[in-house]
């Protein structure tokens, strides 16, 4: 049957143990390569990282030292282990690169299998719509998390270990290998690129005018014509489709926050496994050639991107598709029909792979900002919210602890009309929608609470997680849910006398109460609602309720 790395030719993918053993052999046989264990995953097994450079790698060298002054490529495999073509392709790629030579200005890093728990949960049936391989892993990790939704909330130990890898490497190019679901069409390889409107404009220029055209041209010459990821579910591609908006919860959405250009390869689920592996392999080689030939340019542009970001005072935090802007593309699909279903008796979609057809389609690839955040000079992050502090530190955010308890004039956000998901998504009831009211106030912060300057390298990440309305902020991912529960209240029979006194002594409150009664005639007769209004507009009402704990020093 051949060597383990050639099993894909027969529609068989490597087991997790086979993969790691193959990389260990490469480590032993090549002085310019090393396999290192990074940190734990939810499976109980440590995450591995395979590194390839142009010269010998010493035993005591750090990842940071290896990456210094190099154009770094990070390849992530098996985030969904049922989509295993990248696992096999990367091993073959590593063998070929080591047989040739890694360019002097380049460091190549490969995560052999990211979702180890899913890879160990091996079977033949979890990918019901996929044409092989014979056996494969499962999408969920050891605690049933989809790791490609975890890059901000970091519920998985896998993600914590990934942070270590990513922050040490500071990659210029990131690739995550996948297999698609959805429509049927002629292409074996489709591609998700970092969404250009979310990317730093210096890098977006490189992506759209140089890198993408290069990849599409070279893949076509290799016999793998590509199309953008076919973001189509429930209808046919000839109707047109939009680019995929990879928000920070996704791998390439996360890496974008650190000025890394990201790509998700999506081979087509119905194509032979051999073709899926080989098209991924060719993509890796083509990317390696580009990085080799443009290493200095990639390094210089990423440096300029960080410098550009430090001058910005505002960042987009939410986006919507701009349907007024599109391009007409040729799309190589199949004819289709809607025969009667033998299951339901209703029309069902059926593609005819014997009738290839080229369609003119509209492709939408422009996303416009719907929310932007102006940056303060500092965010103040209370140390009590240690889960947030921990994640900020893991992501290279510079923070200065207060030396003593201090009263600071700050701006605080108060949350209004909060609406949450009513069913858990990846273990969380996400905050879907809210309104914000900003109040200027004096707040007491404690020794050890953190000042986070916005004059620092990773400001895109900082704004994306600390601005409450950002699409994947820590607030939306339930890190601050405690603020939505009121901790103190009143007994109506006791507070009645207090309310009368407050109205006598506070003319502004009395006027506001009279206005409230006029606007709410159906409530004014209810003494309890009237007392609530007075209570919430008095000094007795707790300031912490609905107040976002992270403050702003403007």
Give the separation between CA 300 and CA 297, rounded to whole angstroms.
5
Identify the pLDDT of residue 525: 72
Buried b (16+ CB within 10 A) or exposed e, 377-416: ebbbbbbebeebbebbebbbbebeebeeeeebebebbebe
Alpha-carbon distances of 296 from 72, 246, 285, 300, rounded to whole Å: 11, 27, 19, 6
Q: Identify the CATH homologous superfamily for domain 4-311.
A: Zn peptidases (3.40.630.10)
Domain boundary assignment for the chain: 4-311, 374-486+545-553, 492-536
Give the separation between CA 42 and CA 49, rounded to whole angstroms.
17
Other beta carbons within 10 Å of 275: 18
Q: pTM here? A: 0.96
Identify the pLDDT of residue 522: 84
Region for residue 177 given its phi and psi (left: phi exceeds 0; alpha: psi -120 to 50; beta: otherwise)? beta
Identify the pLDDT of residue 2: 45
DSSP state of 100: S
Identify the pLDDT of residue 3: 66
Decide: 302 and 211 in contact? Cβ < 8 Å.
no
Give the separation between CA 60 and CA 75, rounded to whole angstroms.
23
Both tokens of 363, joined, read 């492709």
The bridge status of strand 367-374 relative to strand 314-321 is antiparallel
Question: Which stretches does DSSP call E strand in 224-349?
Answer: 226-228, 241-242, 261-267, 314-321, 327-337
Q: Print pLDDT tens along the chain (554 aa).
A: 346 668 899 999 999 999 999 999 999 999 999 999 999 999 999 999 999 999 999 989 999 999 999 999 999 999 999 999 999 999 999 999 999 999 999 999 999 999 999 999 999 999 999 999 999 999 999 999 999 999 999 999 999 999 999 999 999 999 999 999 889 999 999 999 999 999 999 999 999 999 999 999 999 999 999 999 999 988 999 999 999 999 999 999 999 999 999 999 999 999 999 999 999 999 999 999 999 999 999 999 999 999 999 999 999 999 999 999 999 999 999 999 999 999 999 999 999 999 999 999 999 999 999 999 999 999 999 999 999 999 999 999 999 999 999 999 999 999 999 999 999 999 999 999 999 999 999 999 999 999 999 999 999 999 999 999 999 999 999 999 999 999 999 999 999 999 999 999 999 999 999 999 999 988 767 889 999 999 999 999 999 999 999 999 99
Identify the pLDDT of residue 527: 86
């Amino acid at each position: 049957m051949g060597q383990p790395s050639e099993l894909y030719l027969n529609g068989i993918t490597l087991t997790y143990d086979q993969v790691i053993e193959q990389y260990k052999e490469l480590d032993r046989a090549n002085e310019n390569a090393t396999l290192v264990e990074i940190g734990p995953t939810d499976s109980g097994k440590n995450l591995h990282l395979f590194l390839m450079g142009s010269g010998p790698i010493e035993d005591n060298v750090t990842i940071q030292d290896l990456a210094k002054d190099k154009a770094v490529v990070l390849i992530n495999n098996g985030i969904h282990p049922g989509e295993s073509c990248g696992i096999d392709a990367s091993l073959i790629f590593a063998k070929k690169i080591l047989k040739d030579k890694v360019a002097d200005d380049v460091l190549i890093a490969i995560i052999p299998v990211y979702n180890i728990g899913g890879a160990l949960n091996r079977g033949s049936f979890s990918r019901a719509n996929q044409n092989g391989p014979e056996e494969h892993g499962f999408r969920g990790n050891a605690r049933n998390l989809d790791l490609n939704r975890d890059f901000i909330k970091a519920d998985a130990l896998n993600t914590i270990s990934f942070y270590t890898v990513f922050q040490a490497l500071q990659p210029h190019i990131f690739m995550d290998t996948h297999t698609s679901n959805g429509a049927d069409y002629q292409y074996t390889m489709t591609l998700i690129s970092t969404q250009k409107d979310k990317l730093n404009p210096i890098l977006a220029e490189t992506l759209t005018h140089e890198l993408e055209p290069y990849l599409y041209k070279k893949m076509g010459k290799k016999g793998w014509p590509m199309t953008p990821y076919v973001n189509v579910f429930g209808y046919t591609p000839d109707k047109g489709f939009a680019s995929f908006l990879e928000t920070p919860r996704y791998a390439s959405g996360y890496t974008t926050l650190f000025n890394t250009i990201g790509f998700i390869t999506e081979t087509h689920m119905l194509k032979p496994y051999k073709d899926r592996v080989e098209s991924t392999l060719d993509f890796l080689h083509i990317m390696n050639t580009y990085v080799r030939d443009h290493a200095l340019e990639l390094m210089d542009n990423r440096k300029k991107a960080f410098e550009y970001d430090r001058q910005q005072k505002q960042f987009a935090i939410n986006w919507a598709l701009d349907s007024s802007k599109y391009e007409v593309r040729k799309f190589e699909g199949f004819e289709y029909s809607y025969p009667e279903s033998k299951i339901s008796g209703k029309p069902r979609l059926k593609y005819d792979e014997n009738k290839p057809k080229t369609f003119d389609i509209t492709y939408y690839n422009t996303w416009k900002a719907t929310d932007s955040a102006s940056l303060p000079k500092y965010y103040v992050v209370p140390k009590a919210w240690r889960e947030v502090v921990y994640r900020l530190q893991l992501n290279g955010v510079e923070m200065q602890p207060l030396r003593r308890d201090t009263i600071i004039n700050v701006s605080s956000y108060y949350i209004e009309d909060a609406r949450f998901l009513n069913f858990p998504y990846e273990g969380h009831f996400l905050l879907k929608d809210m309104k914000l009211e900003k109040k200027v106030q004096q707040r007491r912060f404690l020794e050890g609470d953190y000042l986070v300057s916005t004059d620092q390298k990773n400001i895109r990440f900082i704004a994306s997680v600390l601005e409450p309305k950002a699409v994947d902020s820590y607030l939306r991912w339930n890190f601050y849910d405690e603020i939505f529960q009121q901790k103190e209240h009143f007994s109506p029979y006791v507070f009645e006398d207090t309310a009368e006194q407050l109205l006598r002594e506070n003319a502004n409150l009395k006027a506001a109460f009279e206005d409230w009664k006029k606007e709410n005639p159906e409530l004014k007769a209810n003494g309890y609602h009237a007392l609530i209004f007075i209570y919430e507009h008095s000094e007795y009402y707790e300031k912490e309720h609905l107040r976002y704990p992270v403050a702003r020093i403007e």
